Amino acid sequence: MVQKNHLTQRGEEIIYMNLKEYQKLCKKTAKKFDKKEKEILNWGLGIVGETGDLAGCIKKTYFHNNNQKAGIRENLGDTLWYAAMICNFFGWDFEEVLEENIKKLKKRYPQGFKEKSARRKGTRIDWMEK
What is the band of 115 on the pLDDT scale with cuts at 50, 70, 90? confident
The correct CATH number of 34-121 out of 1.20.272, 1.10.10, 2.30.30, 1.10.287 is: 1.10.287
- Name the pTM for this structure: 0.82
Mean pLDDT, the chain, rounded, equals 89
What is the band of 66 on the pLDDT scale with cuts at 50, 70, 90? very high
Q: Is 60 exceeded by the pLDDT of residue 1?
A: no
DSSP 85-111: HHHHHHT--HHHHHHHHHHHHHHH-TT
**pLDDT at residue 88 in the model:** 98
Q: Which of 37, 27, 16, 3 minimizes the C-alpha distance to 84? A: 27
Q: What is the pLDDT of residues 8-37, one digit of tens each?
A: 666 777 778 899 999 999 999 999 999 999
Q: Is 60 exceeded by the pLDDT of residue 2?
A: no
Q: What is the pLDDT of residues 85-109, one digit of tens each?
A: 999 999 999 999 999 999 999 988 8
Name 66's bridge partners: none
Look at residue 114 and give its three-state secondary structure.
coil
What is the band of 54 on the pLDDT scale with cuts at 50, 70, 90? very high
Instruction: Give exposure, 115-129, as e/b (b: 16+ Cβ within 10 Å).
Output: eeeeeeeeeeeeeee
State how far the Cα of 103 lies from the Cα of 107, in Å rounded to an integer: 6
